[in-house]
Amino acid sequence: MTRTRASMSRRRPPVPDLVRYLAVRARLVERALEAHLPPGRERLRQAIRYSLFAGGKRLRPILALAAGEVAGAPPAVVLPFACALEMVHTYSLVHDDLPAMDDDDLRRGRPTSHRVYGEGLAILVGDALLTHAFELAARVPGVPPALALRALAELATAVGEAGMVGGQALDLAATGAGRRVSLGRVRAIHRRKTGALLRAAVRVGALVGGARPALLRCLTAYGEHLGLAFQVADDIADAAGGAGGDGRTDRVLGKATYPAAIGLAAARRAAVRERDAAVAAVRALGPRAEPLRGIARLVVPE
């Protein structure tokens, strides 16, 4: 994408406690990622770091840490999975920007990986990050092996054909179709392409924390509603004029989006509905789930 996204919008400043919560956890993630992928002399390592340390919000790892805390896991236990989620996310952005996909020049306000390092190396950046992610997720000291394996399988399912990669394939097939895509189709794309990783972030944190089935159900519902709210908010930001200088909006590209399927006003209502459902799913969990509720309100502000 050619613009800075408006998700986690700046329209109304989040409450100070939440700002601090997010900053503290983002710092933990930065440090852990630095420890796993320190600077190196090889061009591949430089290219990996160029994309991994490009100023992302670290939303997925923070969600995993927050869900883990609700389940009773200290951040240190969830951190390897949290980093794995960010690596997978970064891989997906690097590959999504490639000429064969969205063919974007800018990401987070600076040139995309393939524009700086060439297409071949950008493909390898994605491959390396995906592989690093599973290496990290396979080494989780302090987590019972059965739980760690279950979380690992969850992550793989969310990232692969049943989730993100499959959603991207549906998205590619729908792009530029030149016809109105049905809401059901758009929702299916969003659930897999973007929603699956956000849902997995919450579930992996909860699983590693040893969440019982009832708690896992609440957190899963939260993750599913948040995932959809997040992508619809992104669609709305784009339709409302978030495009970069080259005018490559989702509409121009013929992307399958909520505003394209049902119009901007109905898309706004859908985003709010999904946000409220996310908040409601974890309402009964009390103060320890406040960061999760705050994140939902940040993704889709009033």
Tell me which residues touch ligand GRG (CB under 6 A): 1, 5, 7, 56-57, 59, 89, 92-93, 95-96, 101, 108, 164-165, 168, 193-194, 231, 234
Q: Which is nearer to ligand GRG, 32 or 148 (CB)?
A: 32
Residue number with the smallest Cβ distance to ligand GRG: 56
Residue 198 Cβ, how far from ligand GRG at the closest point, in Å?
A: 9
Residue 36 Cβ, how far from ligand GRG at the closest point, in Å?
A: 17
Q: Which is nearer to ligand GRG, 101 or 149 (CB)?
A: 101
Residue 47 Cβ, how far from ligand GRG at the closest point, in Å?
A: 16
CB atoms under 10 Å from CB of 19, counted, come to: 13
Q: Which is nearer to ligand GRG, 52 or 279 (CB)?
A: 52
> Is the torsion defined by CA of 132, 134, 136, 138 positive or negative?
negative
- How far apart are the C-alpha atoms of 137 and 160, rounded to whole Å? 15
- How far apart are the C-alpha atoms of 200 and 220, rounded to whole Å? 8
Sorted by sequence, the CB contacts under 8 Å of residue 47 that are 6+ apart come out as: 113, 116, 117, 121, 122, 124, 125
CB contact at 8 A, 61 and 25: yes
- Amino acid identity, position 291: P
Residue 105 Cβ, how far from ligand GRG at the closest point, in Å?
A: 14
Q: Which is nearer to ligand GRG, 37 or 216 (CB)?
A: 37
Q: Which is nearer to ligand GRG, 152 or 256 (CB)?
A: 256
Closest C-alpha among 243, 254, 251, 257 to residue 104: 243
Residue 63 Cβ, how far from ligand GRG at the closest point, in Å?
A: 10
